[in-house]
Amino acid sequence: MYATSLILVVLLAQASPSIGDSQVKAQAKALLGQGTKLYEQGDVAGALKKFQAAYASFPSPKLMFNIGQANRDLDRHLEALEAFEKFLADAPDASPEMAADARKSVNELHKKLGRIQVDCVTSGSEVSVDGRSVGMTPLPDLIWATPGHHQIAAKREGVVPAVEEVDVKAGVVSNVTLRLAATVSANSVSAPAAASALDLQSSPTPGAANEGWWLGRKWTWVAGGSTVLLAVGAIAVGLSMQSKFNSLNSSCGRASPTQPQCSQSDVDSVSSLKTKANVLWGLTAAAAVTTGVLFYVEGRSVTVAPMAGDVTGALAKVDF
């Protein structure tokens, strides 16, 4: 690997190293050599780990060239772009060939990535992409991101974090607006204000109890609807029973001219319908009683008594 050989030469050619630096560089040289060998053998992932370990041991920006190449070969386009950009920014003394190769890789990676424009009026907020911090607002540049779905968040002490979702496409700039909402401390509400709020809740204005009387009675309406449905069912079964009874009475009952004896199955069918009708009417009555009880219970107002002594705080919900 020609590029890593150049980096190795640079590491060894720095003048007058101290004893401590010599040991660190020797360790970095060994890791770099191991990574180069793994890369040439086709183990790019293993080589990347060695290159990263070498950089952690001796953070020469020239090592970012190797890290960028390995990430690019692994299709880790965003990590490769960051490595090549760091190499170009922090290694101005790199050879023209390596710099040209890095710039070419950067241009190719730009075509495979998208960018995110983050608008946030709250300065000093930390912005993250999928949990990875990318800077503080106002962000100086657009954020590079891989194509796909991403979660953009902004947070700052004392305000409610903002989170937005965005779909990124290669070569396209996606816009995201983050609006952080201020929080209200419990201690910021004074005792007189809290007491006034309690007074307003416990003393409704005249006629307020009668306004919107149908609201806040969820289970009352459920029970009332059940009453109606049961009554309709009872009426339908009763009518069916009466129709069946009239038919049998005219064919084999007292209203029949010949008065033949009705079969037991016909008599049982009428009795069954009668029983069903009686059961439904009983359930209807129970549902009606339940409706009345719920109407009374859910419609009662609740009086809130103020606390004795000083009020130390109150919970408040503020919508912006």
DSSP per-residue codes, 192-239:
HHHHHHHHHHHSPPTTTTTTTTTTT-HHHHHHHHHHHHHHHHHHHHHH
Per-residue confidence (pLDDT) for residue 307, from 0 to 100: 41
Give the single-character DSSP code of 306: P
At residue 96, what is the residue type?
A: P
pTM of the model: 0.52
| Strand residue runs (E) in the chain | 114-120, 126-129, 132-136, 143-145, 148-155, 159-160, 162-168, 173-178, 181-182
A 10 A CB-CB count for 226 gives 17
Burial of 155 (0-12, 13-18, 19+ CB in 10 A): middle
Query: 154: which strand partners?
Result: 127, 162
- C-alpha torsion 22→27→30→33, nearest 10: -90
Q: How many whole angstroms separate alpha carbon 181 and alpha carbon 124?
A: 14
Contact 152, 163 (CB under 8 A): yes
Paired tokens of 156: 């700052």
A 10 A CB-CB count for 38 gives 19
Residue with tokens 């950089």: 55
The rounded average pLDDT for each run of 10 residues, N- to C-terminus, in the chain (320 residues) is 43 44 86 93 94 92 94 95 94 91 94 92 90 90 92 89 92 90 57 46 47 61 86 87 78 67 76 87 89 72 43 33
Q: pLDDT (tens digit, 9 = 90+) per residue, 184-223? A: 555 544 445 444 444 444 444 444 444 454 556 677 878 8
Residue 163's closest CA among 195, 197, 203, 131?
A: 131
Residues 6+ apart with CB under 8 A from 118: 127, 137, 139, 143, 152, 154, 176, 178
In this structure, the strands spanning 159-160 and 181-182 are antiparallel
Per-residue confidence (pLDDT) for residue 149, from 0 to 100: 94
Residue 96, SS3? helix
| Rounded alpha-carbon distances, angstroms, from residue 172 to 129, 148, 290 | 17, 12, 62
Per-residue confidence (pLDDT) for residue 23, from 0 to 100: 85
Residue 65's closest CA among 53, 81, 78?
A: 81
Omega of the bond prior to 138 within 30 degrees of 0, cis?
yes
